[in-house]
Chain A
Amino acid sequence: MNSVPDILRILPEVILTLTGVAIMLIDASWPAGWARRPLGWVATVGALLALWASLGQLALPAGAGFYGAVETSAFTVFFHVLICGLVLVVLLLSLDTLPADSHHQGEFYALIAFGAVGMCLMTGAVELLLVFIALEISSISTYILTGYRKDTANGPEAAIKYFLLGSFATAFLLYGIALIFGATGTTQIYEIARLAPAAQNQSLILAGLGLMLVGILFKVSAAPFHVWTPDVYEGAPLPVAALLATAPKAAAFALLLRVVYQMLPTLRPVWSPLLWGVAALSMTVGNLAALRQQNVKRMLAYSSIAHAGYLLAAFSGLGTSGITAACFYTAAYAAMNVGIFAVITVASGYDEKLPLIADFRGLIYRSPLVGGLLIFFLASLVGIPFTGGFLGKLTSFSVAMKGGAVWLVILGLLNSGLAAAYYMRLALAAAQRPKEGTTAAPRVGVAVGVALLLAAATTLVLGVLPGSVFHAAEANAQTFSATPH
C-alpha cells in the first residue's frame, strides 16, 4: 500500500501494550513485601513514550496501514496526544493518591495502560470491527478499574452497573455495524462512505447509524443514555473517575466525528437534527439534575452530561467548522475536567473525606493553592473568559449559530447560566471562611503537583493563546475533507 512500515502506524498502542504487560510481569515476579508504587512510574514513562510516539506520527505520510484498518493523520495524532496526556495526568494523580498498602496496584496501573491502548486505537481505527474491539478493550479495563475499591459498598455496585449497561450499549453498536455491513458489504469506513449513498437498502443504513449512535452516545454519556454516569463516578476511586470523565469520552467523540462526518456525511440531514436534539436534552437534563446534587462527584457527573450537550451543539455546524469546534471543545473539556477531578482528589484524598459540597467550606483558607485551582477549574467549567471552557463553548456555539441553530444556542447559554449556580455553590463554599477546628491543609505531592500544573496550564493556554491547538483542530477537519475515496 505504501512504504511506511505498518508497525509505525500503531506505535503508541504498541508502547502502551508493552508497558501494561511489563507491569503485570514485574508485579507477578516481585516479592510480596516490596512496594508497588514504582510500577506507577513505569506506567508514567510508558504514557510519556506513547505521547512522544504519537507526536512522531505527524512525520508519517497520512494514510492507513494493516490493509486499511488503522490510520494515522493529523486527526488521530490530535486525539492520541490528548488521550496520552490525560492518562499521564491520571497516572501522576494515582501515584500520590493510592495508599501504599492498597491491593492489586500492579493491575491498577496495567489496566490504565490497557485502557489507553483501547482508547487510542478507537481514534485511529478506520475499520468498524477494529473500532468495536478497541471499544471493548477500553471498556473492559474501565469496568474493572471502576470496582477497584472492593471494600466499599458502592464500588462493586458501580462496576456491575457500568458493566451491564456498557455491554448492552456495545451490543447496540455491534448490531449497527452488522446492519451497515449488510447494506454495503464492507466494514471499512472509507468504503462505506463510498458505497453508502448508492446502496440499495437505505433504511438498513439508517437503522445501522441509529444503533451505532446509541452505542457511542452511551460512551459520551449524552442524555438519554446518561443514567449510569453519576453512580459510576460516585463508586469509582477518584483518579479513575478523573479518567472516566475524560479519556474514554474524548475517544468516543473522535469516533462519533468519524462515523458521522467521515462515514456517512451524506446523511447529514438525518444525524444533524438527531444530535441537535440530543445536545439540547443533554445540557438541560444534566444541568437540572446537577442543581440538586449535594455530592460533589455526582454533581460533576451531571455536569459532564451537560458538557457533552454543549459539545454536541458543534455538530450542528457545517462541515469543517463543526469538526474544528468539536475537536477544540473536546480538548478544553478534557483539560478542565481532569483538572477539577485532580483538585478534588487532592482535597478529598483516596478515602474521600469530603464527599459533599458543604465539606469544601474554607478550602481556600486552608490551602490557597488547592482552593485557588478548584475555583479556577470551576470558572472554566462555568465558561468564564480567558479559560479553555469559555473558548470551547464559544467556538461550539458560534458554529452552531452559523449553522442556523439559533434556538440551540439560546438554550445552551441559558443552560450555562443555570450551570453557574451549582458550580458557584462549590466555588463559594471553598471561598468561605472555615469553621473553627476544621481539618488541616491537604498535602500536595510532587506527582500530583505536576498533574495539576499540566491541567491548569493547558486550560489556561486553551483560553488565552489557543492558536496552535486551534490549528491542529483545523488540520483534523482538513484530513476529513481530504479523505481518499
Chain B
Amino acid sequence: MTAINNSILTLILLLPLAGALLVVLLPERGKLPNWIALATSLVTFALTLHLPAHFITGQSGFQFEVNWQWLESPAVFYHVGVDGLSLWLVVLTGLLAPVGVVASWKAIRERRKIFYALFLVQQTAMFGVFLSLDLLLYYCFWELSLVPMAILIAMYGRRNGPQAALKFFIFTFIPSAPLLVAILWLYAQTGSFNFVTLQTAIAHGGFGAWPLLWLALAFLFAFAVKVPVFPLHGWLADTYSEAPVALAMVVAGKLGLYSLLRFHIGLFPQQARAAAPLLVALAAVGVLYGACLALVQRDFWRLMAYAALSHLSLITLGIYGLTLTGWEGAIFQILNHGVVDGALFLLLGVLYDSYATSEIAAYGGLARKLPRTATAFVFASLAMIGLPMMGNFVGEFLILLGTFTGVSKGWAIAATMGVILGAAYMLWLIQRLFFGPESALALSKPPEDLRAGQLAVMWPLAALMLVMGVAPGFWLYPIEQGVRPPQAAQLTREPAVAPPQPALPAATDGEGQR
C-alpha cells in the first residue's frame, strides 16, 4: 500500500498525459479518440478516489508526498502532496473530466485527436496546480493550463474563437509575469521554491514589510484575474461563449480560488489581512454585479458567465472574510459550483448541439419535447440557487454565516441579495427555455433528448448534489483539517481568536480557533 501511496500522485499526473500520447499516436478512426479519452479520464478519476479513501484526517501537513529534485540550478523539485485543502479539488477535477468528454462527444466533430489530446493535457495541468508544493513547479502547471485552453477556444470557437482565445490568454498570461518575478525573488533570497520552507521563512519575519507587500500583490493580482475577482473579469464572458463546453466548465474558479487560499493567504497572512477589506468589498460588489448582469443577458453562455462571476465572488467573499467557517464554506462551495456548473454546461451543450443557437429568446416550450433535459436542468438549477438539502445551500450558508458573524453584517446582507437575484435569473432562464408556448425553433427539429451516455453522467451528478447537501460533514471534515493549521489560523477574526501573533505555520495545535 505504501508503494501505491507514494506513486499515486505521480500516476494521477502522468495518466492523462499517457492518454494524450495514445490519442495522438493512434489513428482517428471512428470514435477511437473519444473512447480513449473517456477511458483515461475514468481511470484517472478512479485513481483520485484513492486519495480520500486513504487520506488520514486529523494528521496535519501534506500526505502522499513525493519530493524529487528536477533541476539543480535553480533548485526546482518535483514536490507534490495533498492536504485537506486540495484533496477534494483533485477529486473534483477527476470527476469533471469524464463529464467533459461526454459533453464533447457529439459537439466535437472535426480534428478530434487534437481536441482530446489537448483536453487530457489540460487535465494534467490542473492536477499539477492542485498538487504542486514547489512554487516553480506550481507555476509551470499554472502556465501550462493556459495553452490547451487557448488553442481549443481558437479551434472550436463558435463565432470569434481566436479573439476570445487571445483575450483569455493575454488576460491570464500577463499577470503571471509579476507572479514569476515574485517567485524568483523569493528564490534569490532563500534559495528554495519549497512552499513550506518559504511559509516558515516569511512567518519568522525574514523579509521587510515593503518587499512582502509587493510579493503579496503580485500573487494576489495573478490569482484574482484567474478567478476572476470583480473588476478583472473582462475575459470571462467571451471565453464562456466561445469555449467548448468541456473547457468552459473548468476554466473559471477553482484554480484561482485555490491559489488565493493556498498561496496568497498561506504565504502572506499579514498582507492578505491588510488587503481583505478591499477584497471583501469587491467580492460583495461582484456578487451583485454578476447577478444583475446575468438577469439581462440574451445569450445563455453569457448568462452562465455572469452567474459564475456572481458565485465565484461569493466564494471570494468567504475566503477573504478570513473566518474558518468562511474558508470551509468556500472550499465546499467550489466543489458544489464545479458539480452544478458541470451539469448545467452539459445540458446547455445538448441544447446548443441540436439547435445551434445560444439566443435565449429563440427557445421556449421545450419541456414537452425534451422532458429529461428539462427535468435535469430544473434540478441542477435548483441546486445552483441553493435550495435546502442541496450542496450549494450548505456552502452559501457557511460563507454568509462567516461573513455575517466575522466580517460585517452589511456585506453579508448585500451578498445575500445577490444570492436571491441568483434565484431570479435561473428561474427566469428555465421559464424562457423550457416553458411557455412552443417556439418556432422547438418545432423545427425532431426532439433529441438526453441519451444513455449523458444520463449516465447526469444521474451521478444529480445524486452528488443531493448527497452533498444532506451529508456535508463527509466533505467538510477533511476540509476543516486542511484549512485549520497551515493557514496561519491566528489570522481569523472570529470572536474567540487570540490577538495576532507572528504566524507559525503547521505548528499551532488549533486551540482557540473556534
Contact = CB atoms under 8 A, between A and B. Distances in A.
B131 interface: no
20 contacts: A364-B114, A364-B155, A365-B111, A368-B111, A368-B114, A382-B173, A384-B143, A384-B146, A398-B74, A401-B188, A414-B174, A416-B177, A420-B174, A421-B166, A424-B165, A427-B151, A428-B150, A428-B154, A431-B154, A432-B161
Interface in B140-181: 140-141, 143-144, 146-147, 150-151, 154-155, 157, 161-162, 165-166, 169-170, 173-174, 176-178, 180-181
Nearest to A429: B162
B144 A384 contact: yes
Interface stretch (A51-59, A216-224, A386-394): A386-394
A406 interface: yes
Given A413-B181, A417-B177, A395 B73 contact: yes
A432 B177 contact: no
B27 to A, nearest CB: 12
Interface of B: 71-74, 110-111, 113-114, 136, 139-141, 143-144, 146-147, 150-151, 154-155, 157, 161-162, 165-166, 169-170, 173-174, 176-178, 180-181, 184-185, 187-188
Contacts of B157: 432
Contacts of A410: 178, 181
A418 B169 CA distance: 11
A424 B188 contact: no
B170 A386 contact: no
Contact of B72 (A379, A385, A470): A470
A104 interface: no
A480 interface: no
Chain A interface, DSSP helix/strand/loop, else mixed: helix
B138 to A, nearest CB: 10
Given A424-B166, A470-B71, A413 B155 contact: no
B143 A425 contact: no
Given A385-B143, A398-B188, A424-B169, A391 B150 contact: no
Contacts of B161: 428, 431-433
Contact of B110 (A365, A385, A416, A418): A365
Contacts of B72: 467, 470
A274 to B, nearest CB: 23
A14 B113 CA distance: 48
B174 A390 contact: no
A384 B180 CA distance: 12
B113 to A, nearest CB: 7
A123 B169 CA distance: 40
A406 to B, nearest CB: 7
Interface in A355-401: 364-365, 368, 372, 375, 379, 382, 384-386, 390-391, 394-395, 397-398, 401
The interface size bin for chain A is 35 or more
B184 to A, nearest CB: 5
Contacts of B188: 398, 401-402
Given A397-B184, A428-B150, A428-B165, 7 more contacts: A368-B113, A379-B147, A394-B74, A409-B181, A417-B177, A428-B151, A428-B161
A418 B174 CA distance: 7
A235 B404 CA distance: 68
Contacts of B140: 385-386, 390
Given A384-B143, A385-B143, A402-B188, A431 B169 contact: no
Contacts of A425: 166
Nearest to A407: B181
B155 A398 contact: no
Chain B interface, DSSP helix/strand/loop, else mixed: helix
B155 A432 contact: yes
Contacts of A365: 110-111, 155
A40 interface: no
Contacts of A382: 173
Pick from B146, B151, B166 the residue with the most CB of A within 10 Å: B151
B185 A406 contact: yes
A287 interface: no
A474 to B, nearest CB: 8
A421 B110 CA distance: 27
A432 B73 contact: no
A345 interface: no
A382 B150 CA distance: 13
Nearest to A403: B188
A229 interface: no
A385 B154 contact: no
Contacts of A304: none
A73 interface: no
Contacts of A364: 111, 114, 155
B18 to A, nearest CB: 15
A321 B162 contact: no
A364 B166 CA distance: 17
Contacts of A372: 114
A431 B170 contact: no
Contacts of B114: 364, 368, 372
A146 to B, nearest CB: 33
A97 interface: no
A170 interface: no
Given A413-B178, A420-B170, A431-B162, A398 B187 contact: yes
A323 to B, nearest CB: 12
Contacts of A467: 71-72
Nearest to A409: B181
Contacts of A385: 139-141, 143-144
Nearest to B121: A386
A466 interface: yes
